[in-house]
Structure 1
Amino acid sequence: DALRVRLFGKGGHGSRPETTIDPVVLAASTVMRLQTVVSREIAGGETAVVTVGSVRAGTKHNIIPDEAELQLNIRTYTPEVRTRVLAAVERIIRGEAATAGAEKEPEITEIDTFPVVINDADAVDRTMAAVSAVLGTERVVDPGQVTGSEDVGIFATAAPGQVPLCYWLFGGADADEVIAAQRAGTFERDIPSNHSPSFAPLVEPTLTTGVTALTTAALAWLDGGRPAR
């Protein structure tokens, strides 16, 4: 789930904050309080991620603006946890606004929402068997559950049993750098993730491997399940 939140204050001059309701301070306290949703409201065995990816407020250093905007990204695996997280997020946003003395209720709007991506077990076995046969079993790894999101899950959700989904992740980092970082225990620090400004897949063998995997998977289905030639 992605949300846009408008927090309304009362603008004024930076020299006279007592005449204002500062939405910058309100936004800051809201961001900090939202960090407690996962750590204090979700059971340890459950998974949830709450990220504030955008904070916008003001135009000049000596002017207190009249509103601030947050953009949130929320990731959950189950409907129950999703409901609880969304409710907690809304409660905190409205509660912080009330505490700040905001004269207008926050505005919370949905940017987009996707269902959980659930792979079809038989489709995964069929597809990955074909890919492994061509690329080698050592190059196909099950990463387990991941918190990345993808709207392709809508197909499987809309037609359960009719659209056997097999969604896989594809790596393009320098293999030597990855191995070195893993051995040094610095993988999270040294290997850029997607959306990082430092993310830059190697052209080769990334391009050739990706095309091979995709065509192999397609042929495994188009050719009646027989091994790709």
Structure 2
Amino acid sequence: MSFDLAPLAPYAGDLAAGARLTALACALALAGGLALGVPAALMRTAALPLARRVAEVYVDIFRNVPFIVQLFFLFYGLPEIGVQLSAFGTGVLALSLAGGAFSSDAIRSGILAIEPGVLEAAQVSGLSRFAIARRIVLPIALRSALRPLGSVFVNLILTSSILSAITLNELTGSAKIIAADTFQPFEVYALVLLLYAVLTWLVSLSAGALHRRLNRRIY
């Protein structure tokens, strides 16, 4: 068996488009996941039992239910109640909901790692709870949670391959079409494997570099 990439040359643009779609969906999902994960983490560490319970239910649902079930529910189930989303919108929403659940764990760990003396000093200074959360708790927690959040983003990239199940031609969806057209699944998926490896490596490298830069004065 020979490894021949020449027949795949005409499809290079399709693979690149799929990779761009994957990157865009995951970038939007990271932003959405943080928008959900930050308040969920704060609620899980709040003194109010109801707030903690609501956040825990959200996290448990989206962390413990298979992602493809969540995806199918949003794509096929929501239209039954009049909520119609595009495949791309559904994919971003599903990744955001799942990413929010996992990112809340990372941020919550960062919050719990804050020295009690820091919070006591902030309370003594007369700052409100909102000001303490915004100016002290979240900056420290997010800085310490950068590496775990990088892992969450890597997981979003890997999980995004399932979006092809709802007809979204991201990287894996494009690869399926190209493999069917060229009858060269080995070469096609070898390239896709490499592209996913590069994407996740870049994310891990960037997260590590940002973590070192922001924590340089501490360490």
Name the TM-score class by shorter chain: under 0.3
TM-score by length of 2: 0.23
- Structure having the larger proportion of residues in strand: 1
Q: Which has the higher helix share?
A: 2
After TM superposition, the score normalised by the length of structure 1 is 0.22
Comparing both chains, which one has the higher relative contact order based on Cα–Cα distances under 8 Å and sequence gaps of 6 or more? 2
Bigger-Rg structure (1/2): 1
